[in-house]
Structure 1
Amino acid sequence: MTNITASTPWQTLNHLAAELDGQHMRDWFVAEPSRASDYALSACGLNLDYSKNRINTSVLDALFELASYANVEAQRDAMFAGEKINSTEGRAALHTALRNFSGDPIMLDGEDVAPEVAATLAKMAAFTQAIHSGEHKGYTGKAIKHVVAIGIGGSFLGPKIMSEALKPLHTDACKVHFVANVDGCHIRDVLGGLDHTETLVLMSSKSFTTQETLQNTLTAKAWFIEQGGSQKDIAKHFACVSSNVPKAVEFGIDPDNIFPMWDWVGGRYSLWSAIGLPIALCIGYDNFEQLLKGAYAMDEHFKTAPMQQNMPVILALLGVWYRNFQGAQSHVLLPYYHYLRGFPAYVQQLDMESNGKQVAQQGNSVNCATGPIIWGSEGTNGQHSFHQLIHQSNTLIPADFILPLTVYDGDSEDAATHHAMLASNCFGQTQALMQGKSYAECLSDLEGKEMDDQEKARIAAHKTMPGNKPSNTITCLKLDPFTLGALVALYEHKVFVQGAIWGLNSFDQWGVELGKVLGNQVLDGILGKRELNQFDASTAAQIEAFRAAQK
């Protein structure tokens, strides 16, 4: 692919951006009675209303041409085929194999990985059942009532946020506690309230050497032994997800309690693998399988739907439109559902770790803006803080509003009232962002107020909201495991499409890797294993100050 910014579709989009400047969505809704239905799509239990965007058919046509120019469909097919699209690490990105229910072979380097995936899922199902039934007992004969899931990055965010999102389905059989931060306050707080004889520690680290994860696991091991357990008893109270089986066995973990990880699954795509075991322990394996099936349904939609009716493609192209042709630097996610409050953080890692890059596949620098800043918060809290900036500042911030139309406890009158208020705020915000409020309307509101015309004009100016602020609204009947799986896969594929258009490798994370390496070097400096003259002056001074404070 040649320089995409020199392509005809890119130049057409530049022209259209200038042409639409000054036009307002409010007028388009008046002129186009069918706009809401024309720019709407349903797939896999999700409904997308993208009518409140600064687009028309000409913009969409040019965006689809851009996707065609970038060979998005061919790149998509290469991913599903197990080709080594992670070119800098020589790996496939085959996380979709973890949720493939087609029954067909899934080939990687000439071998079918489907049997190994199926075997791992069966092992997860059996382990979950053993914990929930009480069959798996600790060294004193007590059933496991608490699981401490230790990970970092994708091996923490995915399981934790998906488990939170499905809280109404949590089992009473055991409670899962998540720990990621290497700050000792967290692990000590979690362990401090637990009985070690009823606790299982589940550690997730592909290498079994990840600094934060290993340290937290060692702390948990020390706690377990201090409380009365022995090295031999570790086998009944510790499990792990890792590809480093020898290290795990040396630690004391029973080989039967070691679950595999694969190089062709990146951390931020790993919740579908054994990394998702904490989710199964929270909600039961059958519900975890429904999560996989929802993602599989979205995979099939992404693979087969024409681009013009393809939900991940449409979301991705809208993001490209705002990032590259409207000057947007960030994108906000606004889940109007308390249990989905962690979703912006999940997508933040997924998107920014995948596409926060400045080098194209060929090694040359990209010459356009790439991954946006992803942020957000649950509604309606944000309405009383940062929504002000979205409504009235000069900064363009496209938004995704996410709302389940019903909730698990919605049968009671009180719950129904709460949810109706939540939905009204969600829909009202998208309307306000699009419609705004003109100066004339604000001035009219001040008629009859005891102030002179000059003061009325001043106050009206402050109250004016320009509107024309873009948003998508994503709804589902209920956020069950199936629709949650589809929602996560929707954003995975959106990120992939944008990376394909920008010419990026969305599956490496060298910035993250550098931080790990330097962090380990600094730790050696703090522990006196590395001379301070090997660091820059600022870092050396910080290390020295830290060491002095410990005396």
Structure 2
Amino acid sequence: MSLQSQFASENTHAALDIVLDTAYQGINAGNWAKLFADARKSQLEQFIVDMFAGKRINKSEDRPALHSALRNLSKRPVLINGTDVMPAVSEVWHRIEALCNKWVGVTDVIHIGIGGSDFGPRLAIEALAHAPGIESRGMRMHFVANIDTAELARVLTWAHPHSTRVIVVSKSFTTLETSMNAKAVVAWLKDSGCSNSQVAHAIYAVTANVTAAKEFGINEDHIFPFWDWVGGRYSVWSAVGLPIALQYGFETFQQFLAGAEAMDLHFKNTPLEKNLPVIMALALFHQQERHDIRAYAAIPYADALDWFPRWLQQLDMESNGKSIDRDGKPVKHSCPVVFGSAGSNAQHSYFQLLHQGTEIIPIDFIAVREPMSNRPEAKAHHRILLSNCLAQAQALANGKTASNPNDVYPGKRPSNLLLLPKLNAFYLGALLALYENRTATLGALWNINSFDQPGVEYGKVLAKPIEQALTSHQNDIVASANIDAVTAARINLLNSNN
């Protein structure tokens, strides 16, 4: 065996026919040995056991983090306070399947949610739109998240009110953007001539707060529950993923869950040295220790995964973007800034900075062996796509010397190559679960609680008095406990035009 092939094999790992190549990370055998030893010192293996066992690892909210139960198709008992949650999860599966068989003549589905209630299903609908072997059921799936009515207006322009169904998704059912958009869609249905009974027939909810959904006016048999032990950004595996089943069939949704379950079993049962989520987490951890990196990029060389980096931004930065650890102490490292978009488009955007910028920014290159269309030119295009992926990784790693400083590439820019055999529902589920488990691993390494998000709340609290001040139309607002002088001046500027 040549040194080159030996080096490649030592840095190549596989699970579920997904290949992870870390050869360009610049991590030698001694580094890896220390990383795995440090992971064990941080009690990572026990953390993994506790997470799947339903222990209350979300200490600040005193809850388990059991999203893995949502894709536990084998229905192994999962206990919380001595009660198996799988019968309740299975009941939701049965209801999703029944709804898929029930909806006939529906032309449009409007899915209303934001954050974790939006990113996962939106990503899956986009990613599977042209997946070989998956047939769409013909409905137009629309997503409304932003409180900006421009998004709502675009959707309502296309939807046919009398054959539209609406899914309102909110864990708490108190999210302001979601409730206001839901009320606007109800008003649109009524303004379009739908009777009260037709509106009631059209609206569904997915929530952990069934009482609030009923108070909104949604029929109880139209409410799909999930539970407080499911974090919003980990919830696509619950009824939050209902659009996947409705658009592509319940079997496709099951395959999505099956891929995630298979990755969970790999993460749970595989030694750290061969464990894909752990290896990816340790590679990033190493780059933080070595280069104090502040950002990393996820570049899927698959247009179908263009939404993946946006989903990943919430997963990583909402989970681990914290300055205090689980013991209330300042952290040494936490989540870097996450960005990315589909290659090869990304090469014509920010790759200049990746190659020749002053910061070292690690990259996850994600590629798919098979093309995502049956166009006659698909294979030729796909070869060029993959060639670009491999070439960019090589150039970033090896760099280039030249007499002209403008032509110098410093190199030593670390990257992973993650290679999927194909992009279907199974491998999409496996990919998302791989990154979920990697995020949890990083949280354990940093001693951060990856399952709460207190930092998103303060701005929401401050928005209420500001909204009241804007509603008043007064242009003499003064600073107060909740509105500082700069914001008061900005409110006056806005109100002066009303």
Deviates more, 1:415-424 or 1:111-120: 415-424
Cα deviation digits, residues 72-122 of structure 1 (max 9, x gap):
010111111111111111111000000012332110111100000000111
Cα deviation digits, residues 445-498 of structure 1 (max 9, x gap):
xxxxxxxxxxxx4xx322121222111111111111111111101111111111
2:166 corresponds to 1:201: yes
CA distance in 2, matches of 1:264, 1:83: 11
Cα deviation digits, residues 186-216 of structure 1 (max 9, x gap):
1012112221001111110122221000011
Q: TM-score, normalized by length of structure 2?
A: 0.95
CA-CA distance at 1:33 after TM superposition:
4.2
CA-CA distance at 1:223 after TM superposition:
0.6
CA-CA distance at 1:360 after TM superposition:
1.1
CA-CA distance at 1:529 after TM superposition:
11
1:221 to 181, 186, 198: 186
Is the 2:273–2:279 contact (alpha carbons within 8 Å) kept by the matching residues of 1?
A: yes
Cα deviation digits, residues 308-329 of structure 1 (max 9, x gap):
0000000000010111222211
2:116 to 149, 154, 158: 154
CA-CA distance at 1:236 after TM superposition:
1.1
1:61 to 6, 30, 33: 33
CA distance in 2, matches of 1:248, 1:88: 26
2:364 to 367, 375, 400: 400
2:135 corresponds to 1:179: no
In the other structure, the counterpart of 1:442 is none
In the other structure, the counterpart of 2:291 is 326
Is the 1:234–1:252 contact (alpha carbons within 8 Å) kept by the matching residues of 2?
A: no
Aligned AA (1:424):
S
Q: In the TM superposition, what are the counterparts of 1:71-90 in structure 2 within 5 Å?
A: 71-90=43-62
- The runs of 4+ residues in structure 1 deviating greater than 4 Å are 29-33, 529-532
CA distance in 1, matches of 2:267, 2:197: 49
2:496 corresponds to 1:538: no
What secondary structure, in the 3-state scheme, does the structure 1 residue paired with 2:208 have? coil
Instruction: Call closer, same or farther: CA 1:235–1:437 in 2, change over 3 Å.
Output: same
2:244 to 276, 279, 290: 279
CA distance in 1, matches of 2:300, 2:236: 20
Instruction: Call closer, same or farther: CA 1:200–1:415 in 2, change over 3 Å.
Output: same
Give the paired residue count: 491
1:292 to 249, 257, 268: 257
2:444 corresponds to 1:500: yes
In the other structure, the counterpart of 1:471 is 415
Q: In the TM superposition, what are the counterparts of 1:126-145 in structure 2 within 5 Å?
A: 126-131=98-103, 134=104, 143-145=105-107
Deviates more, 1:519-528 or 1:114-123: 519-528
In the other structure, the counterpart of 1:122 is 94
1:250 to 215, 235, 241: 215
CA distance in 1, matches of 2:256, 2:464: 36
CA distance in 1, matches of 2:337, 2:382: 30
Q: In the TM superposition, what are the counterparts of 1:90-489 in structure 2 within 5 Å?
A: 90-131=62-103, 134=104, 143-168=105-130, 169=134, 171-366=136-331, 368-410=332-374, 412-439=375-402, 457=403, 460-489=404-433
Q: TM-score, normalized by length of structure 1?
A: 0.86
CA-CA distance at 1:45 after TM superposition:
3.0
2:454 corresponds to 1:510: yes
What secondary structure, in the 3-state scheme, does the structure 1 residue paired with 2:195 have? coil
CA distance in 2, matches of 1:105, 1:30: 48
CA distance in 2, matches of 1:109, 1:234: 39
CA-CA distance at 1:413 after TM superposition:
3.5
Instruction: Call closer, same or farther: CA 1:42–1:376 in 2, change over 3 Å.
Output: same
**Structure 1 gap ranges (5+):** 1-28, 135-142, 440-456
Aligned AA (2:84):
D
In the other structure, the counterpart of 1:449 is none
**Structure 2 gap ranges (5+):** none
CA distance in 2, matches of 1:338, 1:157: 16
Is the 1:335–1:378 contact (alpha carbons within 8 Å) kept by the matching residues of 2?
A: yes
Identity %: 41
CA-CA distance at 1:153 after TM superposition:
0.3
Is the 1:50–1:473 contact (alpha carbons within 8 Å) kept by the matching residues of 2?
A: yes
What secondary structure, in the 3-state scheme, does the structure 2 residue paired with 1:213 have? helix
CA-CA distance at 1:393 after TM superposition:
2.0
What secondary structure, in the 3-state scheme, does the structure 2 residue paired with 1:52 have? helix
Is the 2:137–2:246 contact (alpha carbons within 8 Å) kept by the matching residues of 1?
A: no
CA distance in 1, matches of 2:445, 2:227: 27
CA-CA distance at 1:264 after TM superposition:
0.3
Cα deviation digits, residues 265-318 of structure 1 (max 9, x gap):
001000000111112122211111101010000100001111000000000000
CA distance in 2, matches of 1:222, 1:327: 52
CA distance in 2, matches of 1:75, 1:246: 34
CA distance in 2, matches of 1:358, 1:395: 22
Is the 2:137–2:249 contact (alpha carbons within 8 Å) kept by the matching residues of 1?
A: no
| CA RMSD across the alignment | 1.8
Is the 1:146–1:194 contact (alpha carbons within 8 Å) kept by the matching residues of 2?
A: yes
CA distance in 1, matches of 2:259, 2:38: 29
CA distance in 1, matches of 2:98, 2:494: 47
What secondary structure, in the 3-state scheme, does the structure 2 residue paired with 1:167 have? coil
CA distance in 1, matches of 2:414, 2:3: 18
CA distance in 2, matches of 1:329, 1:489: 24
In the other structure, the counterpart of 2:17 is 45
Is the 1:64–1:307 contact (alpha carbons within 8 Å) kept by the matching residues of 2?
A: yes
CA-CA distance at 1:32 after TM superposition:
4.8
Aligned AA (2:16):
C
What secondary structure, in the 3-state scheme, does the structure 1 residue paired with 2:118 have? helix
Instruction: Call closer, same or farther: CA 1:109–1:524 in 2, change over 3 Å.
Output: farther
CA distance in 2, matches of 1:408, 1:364: 47
Deviates more, 1:540-549 or 1:507-516: 540-549
CA distance in 1, matches of 2:240, 2:376: 39
Is the 2:137–2:248 contact (alpha carbons within 8 Å) kept by the matching residues of 1?
A: no
